Structure 1
Amino acid sequence: MKRNSLPFCCFSLWLVLTAVILQGVESAQGKYAQMLFNELFEDYSNALRPVEDTDKALNVTLQITLSQIKDMDERNQILTAYLWIRQSWYDAYLKWDKDEYDGLDSIRIPSNLVWRPDIVLYNKADDDFSEPVNTNVVLRYDGKITWDAPAITKSSCVVDVSYFPFDDQQCNLTFGSWTYNGNQVDIINALDSGDLSDFIEDVEWEIHGMPAVKNVITYGCCSEPYPDITFTLILKRRSSFYIFNLLLPCVLISFLAPLGFYLPADSGEKVSLGVTVLLALTVFQLMVAESMPPSENVPLIGKYYIATMTMITASTALTIIIMNIHHCGAEAQPVPQWARVVILDYMSKIFFVYDVGENCTSPQRVKTQEHKLRKDFKYQKKQDRHKVVTSQLSRNRNNDSDLKKKLNGHLNNSNGIQCENAKDAVNCCSCYKVLIKNIEYIANCVRDHKANRAKGIEWKKVAKVMDRFFMWIFFIMVFFMSFLIIGKAI
């Protein structure tokens, strides 16, 4: 038992000695840090540039780390981003020999105690003009000062929404000194681009790079050059949200517009369907317009909405015209010969439009019926039958005896009228003429009714063929426009 307890006692003694030594070191470093701070800032002033030669420029190294994109306001063209801004420079009056201070090589002090470059965001679009966050700076023995400060910046960004929601945006973040020119403070890129290693993925935007470029500009107010560093944030919009919430409903609604031509004209819903679809697209158009800036560049989805609304308006107008053709009655003129040939003969076969009882394999019977109706309509006003009956009566008058016998026999059997002499026969003949006129009048009315009905059927078929024609035309237009906008997405 004694042998096993000896190593444990030695280990415990070593831990105690190590703790005492480290505590002594920390106490010594704290003492030297306090002494160093008092000596460095005894006669130090943070109002002037910390350079020994005022003719030389002070180099400030700038590095930007993008942590998160908080918001992209397309309507107001403002980008809100969370950045980590690192600035480093050398202060000629804040140096020490670390051997004199027990190897103390760096201290951390409040940033407002040292001179800081007045580097600001040139294209800032925030109403708050407060000072930067007063985080601590790291001061090294050789005079190098490193200042890391977080910042939520709102910068102006020219947003081009021509290809919304499949657009790419480039937003600039320009940093430079506000009062010091290039002969006094020079800005140097720490990296060729912004640091994206700690970037938090955004749900709406993809980051494709953040290159940095140094510019030296001479403004009209001053003759001295003013350097700045411009970080270009390259963004690509994630379009899945807009495809499923704005584009796909519009495509589905637009495919309802051609189906209005397929509705029967007697249903009374053809115009209602077109107006309903037009109102639905207007709602989506207003939703897009509310989020887009009021610029001359119309977004791609807005162009699609406008084209679709124009197409639906045209289809509704054509539907009204076709319904007017469908309801042509007896007062309308007959179908012109060119329309009968082009529409009824050719287009009806192309678009498979047939009458009731007719199909693509046996249209001959319907053709015979149509020919008969056309023949009746063509000769509806001629009185050929009346002429035949009149000539027959004139021949019968030449033969009085035969006429008397025929009239007497016919009238005795049918009407019970007794004719005993030639005078009664003439009276019976006049009665027969009146009866024939009445029958002919009824036949003419029936013939006129059939002719008017045939004319209405022809106009209805013309309207049906035109409905099918425009239905396929508008289906092709909708498919073509949808293919174009999906092609932009790919």
Structure 2
Amino acid sequence: MSMMFTGTFVGLLAICAVAQCQFFDALYTRVLDKAAGTTIPVTGSREPVNVSIGMSLIQLTSLDAKSGDAEIDVWMEFRWTDTRLSWDPTNYNNASIIRLPASRIWTPDVMLYNGHTSSRESLTVVDSNGSVAYMPPTTVKTRCYVGRYKSDGSVICSLKFGSWTYHGFLLNLDKSSNEVYLYDYNPVGSQWEVTEHNVQRNVKTYSCCEEPYPDVVFILKFKEKRNSIWNLFD
């Protein structure tokens, strides 16, 4: 009798699992059908898509104090709203969040202006109201300022991000925080310590045009850890 009960229970679980998959299939299909490919989700000529950008420092992989060449591992954070991706949770068993591939929806073309990045694509997290969060693990390669290294042992890395093709009337870029997040930073094995980490937003205009061009700069100041060389100057 117990074996019969166990078999019935397992069968019910299998049926529920299939039903759950079918339920999510319907939701995914509906949302992606409304996504309109990769076109920017603007609703009016003067109503831009507001995109916030943040950065979590994970590891300073390498930093050359002579050239300033640096490789830094970070988690980027992009947030925006695309109402085309919204749905009524009551129609889908109160599901309020789904995960979608970034390649299947519009994502902001925000790039690093003064260096190169390589990202590992991760899923976006989409809320039923259309808000999107995208946090790809990213490796940054840039050249930092080393002019103060000889005087105080510090190197300053300024990472400037902005849209590659959209002006501010279409894509309004803003910072999500005044600081670079250090919650997951791993300093183990590094000869450098982080002494400053702030974020600045700038808006540039040109004499030819009225459109603004916003950018966000993440500033990381690294200082060489005190060792026998620096102790000579104490």
TM-score by length of 1: 0.43
Alignment of 1:134-213 (within 5 A): 134-161=121-148, 163=150, 166-201=152-187, 202-213=189-200
Q: 1:54 to 1:32 in 2, by over 3 A?
A: farther
Letter in 2 for 1:236: K
Instruction: Give the C-alpha shift of residue 140 in structure 1.
Output: 1.7
RMSD, aligned α-carbons: 2.7
| Comparing 150-159 and 110-119, the one that deviates more | 150-159
Contact 1:29 1:104 in 2 (8 A): no
Higher strand content, 1 or 2 = 2
Distance 1:148 1:68 in 2: 16
Distance 2:22 2:59 in 1: 41
Q: 1:21 to 1:193 in 2, by over 3 A?
A: farther
User: Aligned to 1:37, what secondary structure does the other structure show?
Assistant: helix
1:47 aligns with 2:33: no
Matched with 1:114 is: 105
Instruction: Give the C-alpha shift of residue 150 in structure 1.
Output: 0.9
Q: 1:28 to 1:157 in 2, by over 3 A?
A: same
Q: 1:116 to 1:69 in 2, by over 3 A?
A: same
Matched pairs, number: 231
User: Aligned to 2:150, what secondary structure does the other structure show?
Assistant: coil
Larger Rg: 1 or 2? Answer: 1
Distance 2:135 2:149 in 1: 38
Aligned-pair identity in percent equals: 27
CA deviation vs aligned residue, 1:92-111 (integer Å, no higher than 9, x gap) = 21111111111222221211
Alignment of 1:322-401 (within 5 A): none
Instruction: Give the C-alpha shift of residue 118 in structure 1.
Output: 0.5
Distance 1:162 1:57 in 2: 41
Letter in 2 for 1:47: T
Contact 2:34 2:84 in 1 (8 A): no
CA deviation vs aligned residue, 1:364-397 (integer Å, no higher than 9, x gap) = xxxxxxxxxxxxxxxxxxxxxxxxxxxxxxxxxx
Alignment of 1:72-91 (within 5 A): 72-91=63-82
Distance 1:176 1:77 in 2: 22
Distance 1:43 1:95 in 2: 9
Structure 1, unpaired ranges of 5+: 1-8, 248-484
Instruction: Give the C-alpha shift of residue 52 in structure 1.
Output: 2.9
Q: RCO higher in 1 or 2 (8 Å CA, sep ≥ 6)?
A: 2
Alignment of 1:261-300 (within 5 A): none
Structure 2, unpaired ranges of 5+: none
Q: 1:23 to 1:104 in 2, by over 3 A?
A: farther
TM-score by length of 2: 0.86
Contact 1:60 1:186 in 2 (8 A): yes
Distance 1:156 1:220 in 2: 30
Q: 1:221 to 1:162 in 2, by over 3 A?
A: farther
Contact 1:68 1:200 in 2 (8 A): yes
Distance 2:114 2:167 in 1: 18
Higher helix content, 1 or 2 = 1
User: Aligned to 1:41, what secondary structure does the other structure show?
Assistant: helix
Distance 1:172 1:23 in 2: 53
CA deviation vs aligned residue, 1:247-304 (integer Å, no higher than 9, x gap) = 8xxxxxxxxxxxxxxxxxxxxxxxxxxxxxxxxxxxxxxxxxxxxxxxxxxxxxxxxx
CA deviation vs aligned residue, 1:159-201 (integer Å, no higher than 9, x gap) = 115536x412221111111111111111222222011011111
Contact 2:45 2:169 in 1 (8 A): no
